[in-house]
Amino acid sequence: MTDDGATGADAPAVERAGAAMAGFLSAFGAFRDGIETRLKQQDERLTMLDRKSTPPRRPALSAAVAEEPLHLKAFGAYLRSGDDDGLRGLVLEGKGMTTAVAADGGYLVDPQTSETIRSVLRSTASLRRLASVVNVEATSFDVLIDRTDLGAGWATETAALTETATPLIERISIPLYELSAMPKASQRLLDDSAFDIEGWLAARIAEKFSRAEGAAFVSGDGIDKPKGFLAHPAVANASWAWGSLGYVATGAAGDFATSNASDAIVDLVYALNAEYRANGAFVMNSKTAGAVRKMKDADGRFLWSDGLAEGEPARLMGYPVLIAEDMPDIGANAYALAFGDFASGYTIAERPDIRILRDPFSAKPHVLFYASKRVGGDVSDFAAIKLLKFAVS
């Protein structure tokens, strides 16, 4: 019997069991260390993959705000995936965050995008800069014009009074038409969170809207679009009557007169009555401006002068000049130059909201964005605008 109670025959077995247990514990420890090492390596690889797969954050829309406003996040989510859950909450919580959401869903306008579009429209060289612009909620806008004078006469103490003429009121109705644009983008592009969706959408829509509006305000035929001031009849200013625009001829076919060319511009300015002339402005395209700015008066002074300050328009005979590329070029019988008080003479009526419909189905794998706006325009005072006709008479 040994001191620990094991017989001599059992001693080798005990030693073998102890050695086996020690080997097991050693192997188990090594196995555990291996697992921990592999788990650590796996965590490091996952962390590295997360860093590589996480897209960079979109630059903040404002330098003073590090994080996008909540309504812009919701609008971006809608454009990328059609998820409007966030928008529903925003509509209920703040009226200023959206202008309109139709009852059947899908129509919305993001205030940041809408404001961007409107600012681009104002910055383009269209008649919008000079005309009177009103916001309406109806389908048309009526302008009431008192175009005649009240009769009056001198009376004596004993003579009988006679009836005098009463003024006539003219009603001009400006219907609103739908202006639309439909840019598209691939779903993969929309899924890229680094892509500036708001800027892209605003730029595309603003470009299309500004071109369509600028052309319609000048020469639109009034059929499903605003009626431009050049679409109305033009008559010689000596025989002008309400409902038409008066014109002054240059005296040469398709060009200015070879001698005293600037006289036609002087005649055009003074064809307008003094009350309109005080707020007068010229409208022409770049080609016409290139010809006009070379003109001099009898003393050799240029009629054209550039603005003295940044952003100030050029002036012709002291009146501001709007360069509108939708005006016609100088040519035979062309009305390539206009002068008038356009704030009185032309009215633009529009609804203030812009609607956007997201369509992910019609052009797969692209997503269409149908944007629409209601706008109309027409001459509101035929006495306030005069034209220069490039003709003998």
Cβ(179)–Cβ(375) below 8 Å: yes
pLDDT in the model for residue 138? 84
The whole-number pLDDT of residue 59 equals 45
Does the pLDDT of residue 27 top 80, yes or no?
A: no
Nearest to 226 by CA among 141, 144, 285: 141
Residue 17 pLDDT exceeds 70 = yes
CA dist 338 and 80 (Å) reads: 46
* Least confident piece of the model among 30-39, 170-179, 264-273, 286-295: 30-39
For residue 127, give the 3-state DSSP assignment. helix
Name the token pair of 374.
């209601």
**For residue 336, which of 276, 264, 240 has the smallest C-alpha distance?**
264
Whether residue 167 has a cis bond before it, omega within 30° of 0? no
Least confident of 98-112, 119-133, 205-219, 379-393: 98-112
| Radius of gyration (C-alpha) of the chain in whole angstroms | 38
Task: Report whether 98 contacts 110 (CB < 8 A).
Answer: yes
pLDDT confidence of residue 106: 45
Q: Is the pLDDT of residue 391 over 60?
A: yes
Hunting for tokens 């499903």 — which residue is that? 224
Cα separation, 347 vs 133, in Å, equals 6
Percent of the chain with pLDDT over 70: 69
> Does the pLDDT value for residue 36 go beyond 70?
yes
Tell which wins on pLDDT, 247 or 83. 247
For residue 99, what pLDDT is reported?
38
Q: What angle (nearest 5°) sits at the alpha carbon of residue 212, between those of residues 210 and 214?
A: 65
pLDDT recorded at residue 86 = 62
Q: Using CB atoms within 10 A of its CB, is residue 214 exposed (0-12), middle (13-18) or buried (19+)?
A: buried
**Token output for 321:** 């000049």
**pTM of the predicted structure, to 2 decimals:** 0.68
Mean pLDDT, rounded, of the chain:
78
Q: Taking 50 as the threshold, does the pLDDT of residue 74 lie above it?
A: yes
**Res. 6: pLDDT tops 60:** no
Chain-centroid distance of CA 175 in Å reads: 21
Give the residue with greater pLDDT, 3 vs 253: 253
Computed from CA positions of residues 26, 29, 31, 34, in that sequence, does the dihedral angle turn out positive or negative?
A: negative
Q: What is the pLDDT of residue 96?
A: 36
Q: What is residue 92's three-state secondary structure?
A: helix
C-beta separation of 379 from 232 below 8 A: yes
CA 182 to centroid of chain Cα atoms: 14
Cβ neighbourhood burial of 154 (10 Å; 0-12, 13-18, 19+):
exposed
CB 323 within 8 A of CB 72: no
Distance CA(281)–CA(297), nearest Å, equals 19
pLDDT at 197 over 80: no
| Identity of the amino acid at 98 | T
Residue 150 is predicted with a pLDDT of 63
pLDDT one-digit tens code per residue, 45-56: 666 655 555 555
Q: What is the arrangement of strands in the sheet containing 234-236, beginning at the earlier edge strand?
A: 234-236, 245-249, 385-389, 335-340, 281-284, 319-323, 315-316, 304-305
Widest Cα–Cα separation across the chain:
164
Which pLDDT score is estimated for 215? Answer: 92
Set out the domains of the chain in order of their start, with CATH numbers. 229-348+381-389 (3.30.2320.10)
Which one-letter amino acid corresponds to residue 287? K
Q: What pLDDT, in 10s, does the model give residues 94-115?
A: 333 333 444 434 445 556 666 6
Do the beta carbons of residue 80 and residue 87 sit within 8 Å? no
pLDDT of residue 109: 55
pLDDT of residue 313: 84
Is residue 388 within 8 A of residue 265, CB to CB? The reply is yes
Q: What percentage of the chain exceeds 90 in pLDDT? A: 35
Report the C-alpha dihedral over residues 133, 180, 103, 193, rounded to 10 degrees: -110
What is the chain's length? 393
Q: What share of the chain is helix, strand, coil (3-state, %, to 5)?
A: 35, 25, 40
Q: Do residues 389 and 338 make contact, with C-beta atoms less than 8 angstroms apart?
A: no
Output the CA torsion 382→387→389→393 (10° steps). 60
Q: What is the pLDDT of residues 128-143, one digit of tens each?
A: 899 999 998 888 888 8
* CB 318 within 8 Å of CB 308: no
pLDDT band at 221; cut points 50, 70, 90: very high
